Structure 1
Amino acid sequence: FFFLDARRLQDHREQNGSAETSTELDPLKKHKQLYTTLLKDFSHISKPDKAQYDSLAVVNVSPSVVPNPYLPSFRIFSYNISGTPYRPGDLGETGGTQSDSNDSNHSLASGRHLGDHVDRDTVCNGEDSGNSTWLCRLSSPWHSSPESPSRINTLWTPLGFAQYYLPNMTGTEKRPPKWKLEYLTFSPSRLHPAAAEAGAGAQFHYPIPLKQLPRSLRNATRKKSKFAPYRMADLTITSWAGLARRLGKSKHEKLRGLFKQYMYMGAGEER
């Protein structure tokens, strides 16, 4: 995963002369360079009390399905199916409640455009301007709210995912290769009903069906697991930012190693 930040569009423009020449996340870079670039970006994520999430977006890179050069993988996502539907305001609406105490920008971002962080008068006008680039074509209105499903855990918020892969692609028609759990984003405690809800287990919606979990994770008392290194509460932007902050610190060497291993599973650069 990585982040897109609208506030950095102008920075890229000034550093590269044109946004078209930016190679920060060039897919042709070598694996080590990409991994290093991501960690560098993660180390710059602001602390929770200073972070602004209105212009931040999370991009999840899907795993490889075709085994070239990676092992085939896929993800199963779980979503929050309870709560009140989020209804975004009409274009031009302002306001909003301050429901996220860690978000320093609590109001709906209205009347803004994707390119508002660009000095259009200077950059996008004149004969020598880059007004033909995508940077000067960001004219669609956009809105951001701390109450949206991407910011707080509410109806339709992604709660987490489990990633499965084929560690061995050899097999026969009678005994085909089997998919195995590679890792999941959940904390093990969130895979089962809380102790107080044990009697109401029939009403609990398991985020991952028990039969799809390894035996070690079917135990409701399990607090840690090699399959759950991230232990994320959900997949909101704030949770992704929290994981990025951990990966951005060199003291989390083991977590970094797993992150790199998951990036290049089967490609010979897991370490």
Structure 2
Amino acid sequence: MLAAFLCTLALLASQSQSTPVQKVLEIPTPEAKPRPLHGRFLHITDLHPDPFYVPGTSTARACHRKIPKKKKNRAGYYGTPYAECDSPLRLTNYTLDFLEKNWAGEIDFVVWTGDNARHDDDNKLPRTPKEIYDLNRAVAKKMNSVFASKGIPVIPSLGNNDIWPHNILTPGPNGITNEFSLIWQSFIPFQYHQVFQRGAYYAVEVVPNALAVISLNTLYFYDSNKAVGGCSFNEPDDPGNLELDWLEVQLKIFRDRGMQVWLTGHVPPSSSNYFPECYVRYADLALKFQDTVVGHLYGHMNADHFFYVEAADLELDKDSPVNALKKGRDLYKSLLQEFALLPKSKKIDLDEYAIINVGPSVVPNPLPTFRIFTYNITGVDDAVVDGSPVQQMDTPKERLPKGSKASQCEEERYRDTWKCKLEFNPPSDPNAPSRSSKLWTPLGYAQYFIPKLEDADKANHPRFKLEYTTFPAAMLRPAKGQNETEFRYPIPLKNLPKSIRKGEVKNKYFPYEMKDLTVGSWMDLARKLGDMSSSNSTHLRKKFRQFMYLEL
């Protein structure tokens, strides 16, 4: 079986390399066939396919060998939930086939945030660069077939397990960036190929002249990568600094063009994940360009959650809240502790926050999951991706800098740090799409999962079901008396449970009831989660933890 799979991978690899470069992600010419907008996109992450996965083997042996006496310790046919095993190929294929059948015709683009090879968890079966590249090539070929070949832009990011050895990436150009420029050649716009070979980051205009997705190489910020300098101010040529310099230029260009941007990557930006100086620079850009960046999407953590970067993270004596993880704190408790410290609604300055969304994984650790985001396309009901401008954004107003660090920055420990070198002066624009519901604002998401993966076998295929949605129930169907033909369904009715299609409201699907996914709406949810005095918040925290770790 293994030999047959490796032969298949080799065939896929040769086919992938011989396939003509697709042009679906380049700005279409006026003669190109228009592609109507649906106002939805897919976020998928951490597939971790494992060609050596064998059903029935021991979960203590990475699901690779030995048959344990107890059934509960055996690898499942489609995967093993809540275990330290990767995905069998039948699970990753099933997931992408399901998406092709049920969602490819309903979305505008795909954000794919990395880790398409197995973990290095089996000393008797170590990973090799060839295996990693072959797996990535095979998954990319499948993504091409399911999405890109249909004109749907796919924006992949490099994961920490997509390289050998894992976590370690030297400054580019190098063998890894060159290899992935070939593997992802049909996804990366031509004008970014040289940039990608240097650092494995790039941008795609998913709605030309209106909406872009920037794929960041977070390995140059990741503090487990000991091959880089960690964005030190005194090392301007450090690859993390070069990438953030590039990002700032891109954001300025997109702002000047009146466009909105999603920032995406594999490892989420926090001081528990990033080198301190890289984190400071990312937080600074996230806040300075809050008027341009409509959202931040990441993976890696295998836990459904959100957090925020804030202006206070740029103060000299302030650590980020998630830094508590380095001290052995539980992620859930750490987040709630920080949420509890938020100011009251009337006192909070939303200019000083940016929201980071972390999506759960396809690998069943704990269960296979993906998200469908819905965003506002009101005003472009007949819009097509034809290369013409859709809407220009208002110019944000500059704010006066807060406080002064001059005296502290004279101290040796602070003198050559980014906190002292950056001029934090974020623009104030409450009308930006990240702050108020208008064109391109993210409105909500629906999260799907396989709740009983352990029951699936040859005769009983798994089933993706709606886990929850951030929308209120009333937003999913037209109001009484409203014309159904004029109503834009946030989630297609065919992809909702039968009870919701019938108009029934089951609270398990609607835990948050958020009107949209603006900064203000996320901060309201964070404040509710952190309110230890409310009985309603107790129930909300229980649901948040349940979704975070899929504690069914």
Q: TM-score range by the shorter chain?
A: 0.7 to 0.9
SS in 2 for 1:163: strand
Ranges in structure 1 where 5+ consecutive residues have no aligned partner: 94-107
Q: Quick check: 1:186–1:230 contact (8 Å CA) kept in 2? A: yes
SS in 1 for 2:330: helix
2:183 matched residue in structure 1: none
1:81 matched residue in structure 2: 377
Name the stretch that deviates more: 175-184 or 209-218.
Answer: 175-184
2:518 matched residue in structure 1: 236
Aligned length: 233
In the alignment, structure 1 residue 245 sits paired with structure 2 residue 245: no
Task: Give % identity.
Answer: 41
Ranges in structure 2 where 5+ consecutive residues have no aligned partner: 1-305, 381-390
Out of 193, 216, 236, the position equivalent to 2:478 is 193
Q: Quick check: 1:86–1:155 contact (8 Å CA) kept in 2? A: no
- C-alpha distance in 1 between matches for 2:363 and 2:402: 39
SS in 1 for 2:415: coil
- C-alpha distance in 1 between matches for 2:317 and 2:506: 46
1:219 matched residue in structure 2: 502
Q: Using a 3 Å threshold, how does the CA distance of structure 1 residues 142 and 245 change in structure 2: closer, same or farther? A: closer
Give the CA deviation at 1:182: 1.1
Give the CA deviation at 1:79: 0.8
Give the CA deviation at 1:179: 0.9
SS in 2 for 1:42: helix
1:4 matched residue in structure 2: 309
Give the CA deviation at 1:8: 4.0
In the alignment, structure 1 residue 14 sits paired with structure 2 residue 309: no
After superposition, residues 99-138 of structure 1 pair within 5 angstroms as 108=397, 110=398, 119-126=404-411, 128-138=412-422
2:225 matched residue in structure 1: none
Give the CA deviation at 1:160: 0.3
The normalised TM-score by structure 2 is: 0.39
- C-alpha distance in 1 between matches for 2:508 and 2:525: 17
- C-alpha distance in 2 between matches for 1:167 and 1:78: 23
- C-alpha distance in 1 between matches for 2:379 and 2:348: 26
Superposed CA deviations along residues 36-88 of structure 1, whole A, max 9, x for unmatched, are 12112212222222221111111111112222x32121110001111494514
In the alignment, structure 1 residue 42 sits paired with structure 2 residue 343: no
Q: Using a 3 Å threshold, how does the CA distance of structure 1 residues 137 and 61 change in structure 2: closer, same or farther? A: farther
What is the root-mean-square deviation of aligned Cα atoms in Å? 2.7
Out of 347, 359, 362, the position equivalent to 1:65 is 362
Q: Quick check: 1:75–1:162 contact (8 Å CA) kept in 2? A: yes
Q: Quick check: 1:151–1:236 contact (8 Å CA) kept in 2? A: yes
Q: Quick check: 1:73–1:166 contact (8 Å CA) kept in 2? A: yes
- C-alpha distance in 2 between matches for 1:186 and 1:135: 38
Give the CA deviation at 1:165: 1.2
Q: Using a 3 Å threshold, how does the CA distance of structure 1 residues 230 and 23 change in structure 2: closer, same or farther? A: closer
Name the stretch that deviates more: 154-163 or 56-65.
Answer: 56-65
Higher relative CO (CA 8 A, sep ≥ 6), structure 1 or 2? 1
Q: Using a 3 Å threshold, how does the CA distance of structure 1 residues 246 and 168 change in structure 2: closer, same or farther? A: same
Superposed CA deviations along residues 90-144 of structure 1, whole A, max 9, x for unmatched, are xxx6xxxxxxxxxxxxxx2x166xxx55744234345x13234342353586423
SS in 1 for 2:346: coil
SS in 1 for 2:429: coil
Amino acid at match of 1:72: P
2:322 matched residue in structure 1: 24
SS in 1 for 2:520: helix
Q: Quick check: 2:450–2:464 contact (8 Å CA) kept in 1? A: yes
SS in 2 for 1:196: coil
Amino acid at match of 2:370: F
- C-alpha distance in 1 between matches for 2:506 and 2:323: 33
1:105 matched residue in structure 2: none
- C-alpha distance in 2 between matches for 1:124 and 1:191: 52
Amino acid at match of 1:219: K
Out of 472, 479, 488, the position equivalent to 1:205 is 488
- C-alpha distance in 2 between matches for 1:214 and 1:51: 38
The normalised TM-score by structure 1 is: 0.75
After superposition, residues 250-261 of structure 1 pair within 5 angstroms as 250=532, 251=535, 252-261=537-546
Q: Quick check: 1:9–1:117 contact (8 Å CA) kept in 2? A: no
Q: Quick check: 1:185–1:232 contact (8 Å CA) kept in 2? A: yes
Q: Quick check: 1:86–1:149 contact (8 Å CA) kept in 2? A: no
SS in 2 for 1:24: helix
- C-alpha distance in 1 between matches for 2:335 and 2:549: 14
Out of 453, 475, 479, the position equivalent to 1:169 is 453
Superposed CA deviations along residues 3-24 of structure 1, whole A, max 9, x for unmatched, are 11113421xx325xxx6xx673
Amino acid at match of 1:258: K
Q: Quick check: 1:166–1:180 contact (8 Å CA) kept in 2? A: yes
Give the CA deviation at 1:167: 2.1
